[in-house]
Amino acid sequence: MVKRMKEVYLYGAGNIGRDIYGKIKNTCNVKGYLDSDPAKWGKTLDGVPIVGGIDSIPELQYDEIIITITTERDAVRNVLLGAGAPVDKINTEYVNTYIGARLNFIQDLSEVYKNDAEGFAVAEGGVFQGDFAKAINSNFPDATLYLFDTFEGFDVQDTFKENERGYSDSKSGRFSNTSIELVMSKLPHPRKVVIRRGYFPKTTKGLEEERFFFVNLDFDLYQPTLEGLRLFYPRLSNRGVILVHDFFTQTFHGVARAIEDFEKEVGHCLIKLPIGDHCSIALVKTE
């Protein structure tokens, strides 16, 4: 007897939704995506229809709705409940893994290497709305935290190269729904934060002598990721870590390629450790 495949909808037709779809498409019957953006309705993502928003839920038949949005997980869950989705049919397991693994990693790292991190700066490239910057600032409260972002989304210089090389179909201006004020409002130690707004790596001017213990690179795209490795890896302290987001993604193929090309430049393989979020890779510097 053939077992019936679970019928599911994914809430969030974005990068993480695509990654989760890639992981479950052979074990679940993915009926479609739900999304709050009306501009996406009626379109497809990897051949899967984007059927509508929360107003569509009462008309749908499903075993589960899988939330794929990390930054608004709890708010989305409440919206789904308000739209009539039964609590036992709302699945947050996948985004819990994405969120929890990264937060546990940085917390444990800061505790285990507390003495090694002392006296060094920390940084993030690709800040978006500041949720992971908050985690960095919380776990390294005494370190200067440099935040690099355009705060206007992807720059056309990078997306042009990205599209030309076939690494992703990213468009300039994506992830522009943020601001310095929003990010700063989330940070527990704002006096330790230095905002570097603008095009990376031009915004690193003046940091030639700075050294870092921890850096999170979440640029998504090939060129700024490669530039981030070129800038930060030589400036890492002994046992310092660069966490690179989207290494395992099915959306941004340029990230893994950037690491590969950087290894060719430096002439050796880097120490690469997965952190359990199915997305990021940790690069560890040893002297």
pLDDT digits (tens, 9 = 90+) for 211-248: 999 999 999 999 999 999 999 999 999 999 999 999 99
Distant-in-sequence, close-in-space partners of 22: CB < 8 Å, separation ≥ 6: 46, 250
Three-state DSSP class for 137? helix
Nearest CA to 28 out of 9, 50, 11, 54 is that of: 9
Of 84 and 3, the structure prediction assigns the larger pLDDT to 84
Query: What pLDDT is recorded for position 283?
Result: 99
Please state, in angstroms and rounded to a whole number, the distance separating the CA atoms of residues 278 and 242: 16
175: confidence class by pLDDT, cuts 50, 70, 90 = confident
Is residue 89 scored above 90 in pLDDT?
Answer: yes
Hunting for tokens 């690193």 — which residue is that?
A: 204
Query: What pLDDT is recorded for position 231?
Result: 98
Q: What is the pLDDT of residues 63-72, one digit of tens each?
A: 999 999 987 8
- Which amino acid does the sequence have at 43? K
Nearest CA to 55 out of 73, 71, 41 is that of: 41
Instruction: Over range 244-259, report the average pLDDT.
Output: 94
Nearest CA to 221 out of 257, 190, 268 is that of: 257
Which two structure tokens, joined as six digits, stand for 79?
């919206």
Instruction: Over range 3-9, report the average pLDDT.
Output: 92
CA distance readout (Å), 107 to 101, 135, 185, 276, 281: 10, 8, 21, 14, 16
Q: What is the pLDDT of residues 43-59, one digit of tens each?
A: 999 999 999 999 999 99
Query: What pLDDT is recorded for position 287?
Result: 76
How many other β-carbons are positioned within 10 Å of the β-carbon of residue 1?
A: 3
106: confidence class by pLDDT, cuts 50, 70, 90 = very high
- Which amino acid does the sequence have at 68? T
Is residue 73 scored above 90 in pLDDT?
Answer: no
Please state, in angstroms and rounded to a whole number, the distance separating the CA atoms of residues 179 and 242: 24
Let me know: does 236 contact 286? Beta carbons within 8 Å. no
Please state, in angstroms and rounded to a whole number, the distance separating the CA atoms of residues 250 and 45: 13
Three-state DSSP class for 45? strand
CATH classification of 6-91 is 3.40.50.720, yes or no?
yes
Please state, in angstroms and rounded to a whole number, the distance separating the CA atoms of residues 115 and 73: 34
Classify residue 206 as exposed, middle or buried by CB count within 10 Å of its CB (0-12, 13-18, 19+): exposed
3: confidence class by pLDDT, cuts 50, 70, 90 = confident
Query: What pLDDT is recorded for position 2?
Result: 62
CATH 3.40.50.720 residue ranges of the chain are 6-91
Q: What dotted CATH number matches 99-284?
A: 3.40.50.150
Is residue 9 scored above 80 in pLDDT?
Answer: yes
Percent of the chain with pLDDT over 70: 99
Of 16 and 30, the structure prediction assigns the larger pLDDT to 30
What is the rounded radius of gyration, in angstroms, for the C-alpha atoms of the chain? 20
Is residue 118 scored above 90 in pLDDT?
Answer: yes
DSSP calls for 79-121: HHHHTT--GGGEE-HHHHHHHHHHHHHHHHHHHHTHHHHTT-E
CATH 3.40.50.150 residue ranges of the chain are 99-284
